[in-house]
Structure 1
């Protein structure tokens, strides 16, 4: 009897430790997303060891990896390999494709094994975003530090600051938190205590999303807001009111003076002129090798030499002195991986959207997750995608949460064996 009790206690403890491990790993992952992407590589050996253990113990079926979205990502990786081999590109460039696969399957496993529900992820994400916004308020208004605009954890004077590496990340993450807040608000209702909390949080995060983002991401957030109005058949007036309150808060605090580009000058701003040049060169590179492109990771090496060689025939010749990224997901795919890579990556987004429309009545959380994926897709049409791994982690992690709900199989835990100790 004592032996059975000991075994039962050991199994219960192992299950709790497994769940705590995944929650801790998620918290560490969000910490790296928000504050310091340079330390993310620490978790790779742990993730690899966990994956090898699950496969060795036969806790994961092969069908876990064979859903439509994951299959499209694997095909994209194969196209990238063929493209790099055909163009004699270094194999090290292909390592960036891990940023597509590992967060997707990680998010899918978390949901399929019931180690973390999407609701828990959304709440944790909102908590991190709120901490970030509060750090800005305290640092900027109380201490007089522009603590979120820097590029280093430690300033030259030795003081510790919270920071994002790139301004665009702020808009992407805080915009995601706003959408998550709207979901919980509509689920709980405005008159409840939690409803007021989500409403205040959404309205407060929205100005900081605009303040600390580039205008291109801000426009993408506004596009996602409009999408929310179109696909939501309830509480439309509440969303409109919150939008006006957030806009009024932006104007009242004078935050528009801190924006990088005035909306009226947006399309003729230097940032957009640089993008016109990137996009024109991308289209020309695609026309040269339309099937497989010039190789995964090749655009940064080909852009400046191409402009110097064809300057007389190019329509846009303004060159960004600091960057050589395409700043458009689809054009980047066409130039570097050709038509095959373009179709494979867009198929991943397409199957996610298709699954949402097919199973949208199954789970309310799918609404906000799908809206977030649509927001990412819009934002990536004007920002770095292929080589912006800190953004890709979040995009495909959320897609994995969707995939864990949509493509989880019938009674098999999404390709997980029934005796998996992490199954609830």
Structure 2
């Protein structure tokens, strides 16, 4: 009993970390610099809500290391970090060794935590990104208004919160500008397009107000990359918009941009290359201070180029895996360009690579603005790769279905189910099914995770877990903004029908025994089907399967005793099911459940049944 309680407690803690702490930690990593006046708050929140919980989750479930360490992006980062740590042997760093080692460990936890979040709470990622982008937008608007009302002496916007440098602020504005740009390119909802376009315009003004040219170059290259990924009508409009934006920027802000000259970039790079040439193969060592004495009378500690920073610290030996990280990240985005999340992550990475051409230098740091340029996009790409490889990422991508194509698809279809608004399930001419999901309100959970997508993703994950599920043929968004899932239905009849038609009591007992075993398998695999009753369970060639799998959650661990009990209460609402399962054949239900479930779960099930029979 003691070991069972420990295991149950560990499962609940792992679920809490994966489902709640990590989303909160990622949100504050993305938005803390806008919300709090001190940047140290971002560090503390990241450590407390993301890095340390991720480490704890990996300790609780070491098996999560396996898919993580099979990902090439993670392997390349580990190699890069190992070279950097080894270089501490000849580094002249002023900081303690333990402090320098913690930094790559925290970045590794970013990769690992992002993987846990994407694998176990993927549906939380889109609203989380939107919330962070809105915080960045509305958190900076007061500073923008004040900038125009009371222009600073240097004519450069910094922003609010913990932002203290216009160039670093521009990196964050550019990061979220890319988010709004990708949303403009991928959304089909006109209202979302309008809001995204307005937000993109505001973020563009913020970037221009910082007086920084680096994000302008980076956004241009990222937009070209995005257009190459999409290759549709909007991509052509985007390229045309780039030309117009470039002309407008030169006309309106040309003097401000040109009068700042080269900002000594060429002189800085020349001095950095001279120092790199002293130790080109191994570098000067991770954390070695860099001092560049410019002709302007001040010194700099960064070469204003990420690649030069890598070369200075770890030489050509460390540059190779670092370039491999960037190259494989872009390749992942290109290979999976049909998926909007891959499009977003790889476009953010392209933005970061382009920004790193004229900015930065520290190869690994505590959480700060530079993380937005490389580590956050790379961690997201790695997590998406792992989710795709392990079957946690939907294989089907939603496609727009034109009215004429929809009419052809539904020609000669037979209505299986309908409501006051029209058909809900259609049997098409070829025997496949089309299930329609209407959008009733604008801003709901279905806006981020449509029910058609849930149906397809749940079917895919059920198969991954070893259950029988419908084969998905397509996902569609219709002209009226409703969604549909096209699937091959499973042949057979419901368990309720089978019990009604059973020739004897013994046959009903055998069916109840099988259902008890199947119910336990669902619960032990973390499958919580809210609408579970005997009319939603199908007998398919001797195997049991679920119908209408959109209304389902698949948790990382076996269901808690409370969720199991809630599942039972739903089934007890149906009088016929209640009579068969919880009265006439309760012994067979408990026997089948005990074949797969733990003793405490069986005991709780038995107590629940007895309490409801009393």
If the TM-score is normalised by the length of the shorter chain, which range does it land in? 0.7 to 0.9
Q: Name the structure with the higher helix share.
A: 1
Structure 2 unaligned residues grouped into runs of 5+: 1-7, 394-464, 466-523, 527-553, 560-614
Q: Secondary structure at the match of 1:290?
A: coil
Which whole-Å CA distance do the structure 2 matches of 1:370 and 1:360 have between them?
9
Distance 1:119 1:406 in 2: 17
Separation in 2, partners of 1:115, 1:368: 15
Looking at structure 2, the residues matched to 46 and 230 of structure 1 have their Cα atoms a distance apart, in angstroms, of 37
Contact kept? 1:278, 1:324, Cα under 8 Å: no
1:53 aligns with 2:34: no
* TM-score, length-scaled by structure 2: 0.55
What's the secondary structure of 2:277's corresponding residue?
Answer: helix
State the Cα distance separating 1:17 from its structure 2 match. 8.2
Match of 1:369 in 2: 345
Paired residue for 1:84? 88
Cα RMSD over matched residues? 3.7
Matches within 5 A, 1:25-424: 25-34=25-34, 36-43=38-45, 44-58=47-61, 60-66=63-69, 67-87=71-91, 89=93, 90-91=96-97, 92-98=99-105, 100-114=107-121, 117-141=124-148, 144=150, 162=161, 164-189=163-188, 192-234=190-232, 235-240=234-239, 242-243=241-242, 259=256, 261-262=257-258, 265=259, 268-269=261-262, 271=263, 273=264, 275-300=265-290, 303-304=292-293, 318=295, 321-361=298-338, 363-386=339-362, 389=366, 390-394=368-372, 395-408=374-387, 410-411=389-390, 421-422=555-556
Q: Compute the displacement of 1:292 (Å).
A: 1.3
Tell me by how many angstroms 1:13 deviates.
12
For the residue of structure 2 that corresponds to 1:124, the secondary structure is helix
What's the CA shift string for 1:218-252, capped at 9, x where partnerless? 22222222333344311134324654676688689
Pair 88,128 (structure 1): closer, same or farther in 2 beyond 3 Å: same
Residues 53 and 286 of structure 1: CA distance in aligned 2, closer, same or farther (over 3 Å): same
Is the 1:183–1:368 Cα contact (8 Å) retained in structure 2?
Answer: yes
The structure with the larger Rg is 2
Comparing both structures, which one devotes a greater share of its residues to strand?
A: 2
1:330 deviates by 0.9
Distance 2:272 2:223 in 1: 30
Bigger shift: residues 206-215 or 225-234: 225-234
Deviation at 1:178, TM superposition (A): 2.1
Deviations 1:191-223 (A, max 9, x none): 722221112221222121122252123222222
Partners of 1:168 and 1:197 in 2: CA distance: 26
Moved more, 66-75 or 317-326: 317-326
- Give the CA deviation at 1:85: 0.3
For the structure 1 residues 280 and 246, does the alpha-carbon distance in structure 2 shift closer, same or farther, using more than 3 Å as the test? closer
CA distance in 2, matches of 1:14, 1:350: 33
Partner Cα distance (2:85, 2:344) in 1: 34
Taking a change above 3 Å as real, the CA distance of residues 322 and 107 of structure 1, as seen in their structure-2 partners, is: farther
User: Which structure exhibits the higher relative contact order, with contacts defined as CA atoms closer than 8 Å and separated by 6 or more residues?
Assistant: 1
Change (3 A) 1:205 1:49: closer
Name the CA shift for 1:59/1:117 in 2 (closer, same or farther; >3 Å): farther
Shift of 1:374: 0.8
Q: After superposition, what is the alpha-carbon deviation per residue over 1:6-63, rounded to whole angstroms, capped at 9, x for unaligned? A: xx9xx99995786343332223222324354222232314445423431232164222
Instruction: Work out the CA distance in 2 between the residues paired with 1:137 and 1:346.
Output: 37
Aligned equivalents of 1:385, 1:122: Cα separation in 2:
27
